[in-house]
Amino acid sequence: MRNKLLLLILLLLGSPVSHAERADREQPVNIEADRVLIDNAKQISTFEGRVQMTQGTMVIRGDKVVVVQDKDGFQHGTVYGHTASFRQKREGLNEYVEGYAERIEYDMRSDLVDFYVQARVKRSQDDVRGEHITYNTKTEIFQADGGKAASSGAAPSRVRAVLHPKPKTADQGAGDAPVSEPGNTPSAVKRK
């Protein structure tokens, strides 16, 4: 049953490969906040109060952001807030991926964004919800987990997804199945 569900999700999310804006990685990270504490010795910066972190088309907002820089210069940000948010434009499309959660972690080395607690990620009309969602900004693969049971014996919470079929183009007849371009692979939602 799980394999059939995964196959259905793969088919419904199938679209030409398009990644987050590639130029975003080369842009500086700009952060605005009400307060900041910078510890250069530990390479940790803490921003508090209406924080907005921007890198190219990527915008992250929250009540508090802690940024740690590793020895290679890569940054890892943890965003806290009642509803922390993430938004980034998709490469070559006038479309965005948006995500919301109580905590968001963005690892610039691995291009992974993790959404924790009441997580929600939207792409176009598609909407995925769970307790933990990982989004790879390079491959545009989502992995969602419903979370653990609140008490022993209770069923674990579940992932919820609303997936819309790709609209047909004028070249496709009413009975024709959508045709993918050579070399393109579908995006995916995976369950842990």
* Residue-wise pLDDT tens digits, 142-153: 899 998 766 666
Nearest-5° Cα angle at 129, 149 to 133: 80
The predicted-structure confidence for 81-134, as pLDDT tens digits, reads as follows 988 999 999 888 899 999 999 999 999 899 999 999 999 999 989 999 999 999
Q: Report which of residues 2 and 108 the model is more confident about.
A: 108
Q: Report which of residues 60 and 183 the model is more confident about.
A: 60
Q: Where are the domains of the chain?
A: 2-167+179-191
Q: What is the mean pLDDT of residues 38-49?
A: 97
Instruction: Count how many Cα atoms sit within 13 Å of the Cα of residue 89 in the half-sphere of its side chain.
Output: 13
Range 2-167+179-191 classified under CATH 3.40.50.10780: no
Handedness of CA 189, 160, 120, 93 (dihedral sign): positive
Stretch (H or E) spanning 10: helix 2-13
pLDDT value for 29: 83
pLDDT-derived band at 5 (thresholds 50, 70, 90) equals: very low
75-99 as b/e: b if 16+ CB within 10 A:
bbbbbbbeebbbbbbbbeeeebbeb
CA distances from 155 to 13, 45, 116, 168 (A): 28, 40, 19, 39
Q: pTM score, two decimals?
A: 0.73
The predicted-structure confidence for 177-188, as pLDDT tens digits, reads as follows 544 444 444 445
Mention every residue, 6+ apart, whose C-beta is less than 8 A from residue 2: 191
Mention every residue, 6+ apart, whose C-beta is less than 8 A from residue 99: 85, 86, 87, 113, 115, 119, 120, 121, 122, 133, 135
